[in-house]
A and B are shown apart, each in its own frame.
Chain A
Amino acid sequence: MYVEVSNIKKSYGEGGSYVQVLKGVSAEVEQGEMCVIQGTSGSGKSTLLNCIGGLDRVDSGSIRIDGNEIVGLKGEALSDYRRDNLGFIFQFYNLVPNLTVRENIQVCEYLTDEPLSMEELLEVLGLTEHADKFPSQMSGGQQQRCAIARALIKNPKLLLCDEPTGALDSKTSRDILVLLEKINARYGTTMLIVTHNNSIKNMVDHVIYLKDGEISKNYRNEKKTAAAELEDL
């Protein structure tokens, strides 16, 4: 298994404000799989993604990525883990505002010795003609594509997407999902996508459903729907 999560627990606050967000979650994701983590608001799906990405610490349990334990990693080691393995896509893009599209992607190109081709990536993501634009000169969908390109340029083994279509309209959301599908097929990137959108589960290999900090459903799709054909996005 590429991602192995075993009995992880995570809580916030103390005393009266104590909340246990993850109550012993265990799951496995295979290499090259597109996996969706779904759940209602407050179910713990973003927390799970953040713990896998090393952005948040677990109280207990184990997270192994490609066979390596990441729980307990600190400082440089944690940075190295993220640098060598991960790409992140956020709901609100978080692009550097005063760098162009190309320059924003270059920031992460620097992080690896074997980056993907910048021109190819721009082409695949439909950003070639926008390469020299600043984020403020682009639409939300274009900015999100730039954020995806930034995450992919270092050819990460694992792409973590936190509500990647959350801030986008239905058409743009579909475009983004088509792109993710294309990337998965082209580069074999393992993807974990947190979303509250119910339709996305139909286009991925694996669905994990969280409810109140526990996995309520965990299954693999036998039949997938192409992203381009998804409805109700």
Chain B
Amino acid sequence: MTHVLFKRAIRDLKANLARYLALGILIIFSIYIVISLVGAASSTIDQTAYYDQKLHCEDGEFSVFVPLKEREKEKIEEKKVELEEMFFLDLTMKDQSTLRLFKQREQINLLSLKEGRLAESASEVVLERRYAEVNNIHAGEKILLGGKAFTVVGTGAVPDYNAVLKNLGDSTVDSKSFGLAFVIPDAYEQIRETGVSDKSEEYYYAYRLPGGYSDEDLKALLKKFQFSADAVEDTYFKEYWDRTAGNKDLLTGILGMVMPNSKSMVEKMFGDSTANLKMFLKAEDNVRIDAAADDVEINKTSGVFVGILLVILCSYVISVFVVHTIDQESAVIGALYSMGVKRKELLIHYIILPVIITFVSGALGLLLSFTGIGIDMQMQDNYNYFSMPVMKTEVTPFMVVYALIMPPVTAAIVNTLIIRKRLLRTPLSLLRNEQKLSKVRNVHLGHMAFLKLFKLRQMLRETRTGFAVVFGMFLSLLVAMLAVNIFIYCDKVRVRSVEETKFEYMYTYKYPSEKPPAGGYEALAETMKKDFGEYTFDVTVLGITKDNPFFGIKKFPKNKNEIIAGSGFASKYQLRKGDEFILKSEDGDMSYAFQVAGTVDYSGGFFIFMDIDQCRELFGTADDYFNAVFSDKKLDIDGGRLYNTMTKKDVEKSADIFINQMMATIIMIGTASAVIFIVVMYLMMKMMIDKSSFHIALVKIFGFRDREVRKMYLDGNFYIIAAGALLSIPLCKLILNYVYPNYLVANIAISYDNSFPWYIYAGIYAVILVLYFVISHLLTGRIRKMVPAEVLKNRE
């Protein structure tokens, strides 16, 4: 029998080719989206881990005021800690871009070459690949470093600059204006001696820890290393030192005349200010390391989220088909059943076609994702932004299971559950195609015009179908609106980050001057930490002066712990006026409680604002201390004092990067979800209209005209779609408002309100209605052409 019924399955496939083709397309695109997103993300994450190991990526890094003494290095190495100098010089190139010059690494953070070879002579250089690509520099070309010509012999990437950020506080990579260069030690020394560096040499060390020795252990050891300010070459440091901690001895002496324990008191006040350790950063906290892998976490999460949605959607569409088919063939099934055909045999028969179609579609979707428009396209975005070695595309067990096993298994399970339930009915019930009595269907409608009454009765009769259509629309709309949501969110980053940046220059000081430069507004910035789910973000507490015009704060709150929250911070942590929250100091030792007194538009990073004096008091700094200056024009500040300069132009330049970075994902989800949405709408509406076709033929035989028939049967469909869309759109948005910020962009330090402008809602609604009319026109055209007698005969 299986053999005979298999013929039926093949003919069923031919007869309903459009339906099965549509189902196939739905699955192909679903698999394509998920595999492309998750495949690219998994490949990036796994390959990053592979290269971290292969290239001996650091466990962390630290910087010091003066290079470690041999004795100190030995002490570290006694602990079996691997240590390598990562000293660097920043060189300004002819095109005003900056190249950070390193010695070629030997043990830690090794170079992975993309092309060419490592530098071997004092006139050769290897460039970081993104800088070389963006600035169109190729192996064999010459560049000037410190006034001397160097031949570019290769390009490559290092794991400690996966995101080639000039400063750790930078939010975006700009490879046009910043890159890395690697030369042999002799060449490095020669350039250093020329003194052409923008600022003094930075003394960074990378380390790799042995088992059983922690970052904290190393940090504690490093804190014990003292330094002599005289040994520091940086003049700005010296000036700052003399003005602040350098006065410690003098202060101790003065206090000693009146207080016996003055030394310990001063030590306490200045803490570790004589310790050589300047900065200590674990690899896991370093935004430059594994940045691509961290970035694609969003894609992976989005992929899994979309994947779950699409599994539900596909299962649902299959189930609707199965129910529809079984309802149509109920009498035949009942007849076969009554002859002794067993449930298991019928089950296998009804399962076989969906299982084959879903398997083949899944395989096609998998193949599609391995073409140039799938995983590779997704990974290309990462190559275009991060400095990564060439990565292999991986086929993970998840991909195989999701693409090849999940679709047929889902089809088999859904079919089994539904068919079993249907076949549990008695053969007699199947023969009669008995339907459950519904109170809704039989509601008394009172007296009204015939056509109106009929239309209402038809809608009530088809409530189950209507619900199925609306639910299918809701699920596919959720995927489509996710694409819209991602685009609008990224566009907000592009537009608002520029709009909300009112200052032209923001200078962050390493060694502040005694007084702020003329024309600048002094500020005190203190970085703190706050957890968000499994992530921890930096939050900048910014103390500003009352006359600072760049953040739109007219009045500061009076209470000591009250702050004005930047809208990005408030949005990320769902904070409103009156809410309290806690921030932790960078080392996690101190906790600070704050209360939101108001919010102000600033979403580019996580900021909270307070009066600068209040801020100084909070962090126990001197009354005139500041470490940042805002200005609406360029100020005359020596570069050596600065840690970073951010201009509005930088913000404008980097504003597009976020959306560009997400564009492939947006295009992929957007296109695929549009196809999925159209297919689902087509399938659902086809089923809806198919169900009406017999009745339409019947009433046409009675003499009803096309216009009347449309009113009786098809207008109801329109109302169901129109009302369903009205309900589905806000419901989808509500779900996305919860899921998107909390899960899909949980790992990014930017947050905007997730709202859509009204015209987007109107546009989505209009698209649904237009789609309805197009699909309805196509489908009802077929019915119009159909001879009623033919419809009735086919029904038999």
Contact = CB atoms under 8 A, between A and B. Distances in A.
Are A and B physically bound partners?
Answer: yes
B428 A76 contact: no
A217 B403 CA distance: 66
Given A50-B428, A96-B8, A99-B7, A79 B332 contact: no
Contacts of A57: 426
Interface stretch (B85-93, B112-120, B337-345): B337-345
A205 to B, nearest CB: 24
A99 B8 contact: yes
Contacts of B331: 90, 92, 94
A110 interface: yes
Contacts of A55: 338, 426-428, 431
A69 interface: no
A56 B428 contact: yes
A88 B336 CA distance: 9
Interface stretch (A19-27, A58-66, A101-109, A225-233): A101-109
Contact of B794 (A99, A103, A136): A136
B794 A151 contact: no
Contacts of B11: 98-99
Interface in B755-796: 793-794, 796
A213 interface: no
A107 B431 contact: no
Contacts of B341: 79, 83, 107-108, 111
A92 B1 CA distance: 22
Interface residues of A, number: 34
Contact of A82 (B1, B338, B796): B338
Interface string B324-352: 00000101101111111111000000000
A53 interface: yes
A111 B340 contact: yes
B793 A96 contact: no
A82 B340 contact: yes
Secondary structure of the B side of the interface? helix
A83 B1 contact: no
A95 interface: yes
B6 to A, nearest CB: 10
B340 A106 contact: no
B15 interface: yes
Interface string B127-147: 000000000000000000000
Interface residues of B, number: 29
A224 B331 CA distance: 34
A106 B12 CA distance: 18
B1 A106 contact: yes
B343 to A, nearest CB: 7
A86 interface: yes
B432 to A, nearest CB: 10
Nearest to A50: B428
A94 B8 contact: no
Interface string B3-15: 0110110011001
A50 B339 CA distance: 12
B340 A97 contact: no
A119 interface: no
B12 A98 contact: yes
A79 B4 contact: no
B335 A90 contact: yes
Nearest to A160: B338
Nearest to A98: B11
Contact of A103 (B4, B15, B335, B793): B4
A94 B795 CA distance: 11
A88 B335 contact: yes
A39 interface: no
A56 B339 CA distance: 14
A83 B15 contact: no
A19 B54 CA distance: 82
A84 interface: yes
A86 B794 contact: no
Interface in B1-49: 1-2, 4-5, 7-8, 11-12, 15
A98 B794 CA distance: 11
Contacts of B335: 88, 90, 94-95
A87 interface: yes
A83 B1 CA distance: 13
Contacts of A107: 1, 4-5, 336, 341
B339 A88 contact: yes
A76 B341 CA distance: 10
Interface string A102-126: 0100111011000000000000000
A80 interface: yes
Interface in A149-185: 150-151, 154
Nearest to B13: A98
A95 B1 contact: no
Given A55-B431, A103-B8, A86 B339 contact: yes
Contacts of B4: 99, 103, 106-107, 110
Contact of B332 (A53, A81, A97): A97
Contacts of A110: 1-2, 4
Contacts of A136: 793-794
Contacts of A94: 331-332, 334-335, 431
Contacts of B339: 82-83, 86-88, 108, 111, 150-151, 154
A96 B332 contact: yes
A110 B339 CA distance: 11
A57 B1 CA distance: 28
Contacts of B7: 99, 103
Given A103-B4, A106-B1, A86 B340 contact: yes
Contacts of B340: 79-84, 86, 111, 154
Contacts of B342: 76, 79, 83
Given A79-B342, A86-B340, A90-B331, 20 more contacts: A53-B338, A55-B427, A79-B337, A82-B338, A84-B340, A86-B338, A87-B339, A92-B796, A94-B335, A95-B335, A96-B5, A96-B332, A98-B11, A99-B4, A99-B7, A99-B8, A107-B5, A108-B339, A111-B341, A136-B794
15 contacts: A53-B338, A56-B426, A79-B342, A83-B340, A88-B335, A94-B334, A95-B332, A96-B5, A103-B4, A103-B8, A107-B336, A111-B339, A111-B341, A151-B339, A154-B340
Sort A-B residue pairs by CB-CB distance and give the 8 closest, nearest first: A83-B340, A110-B1, A94-B335, A82-B340, A98-B11, A55-B428, A106-B4, A55-B427
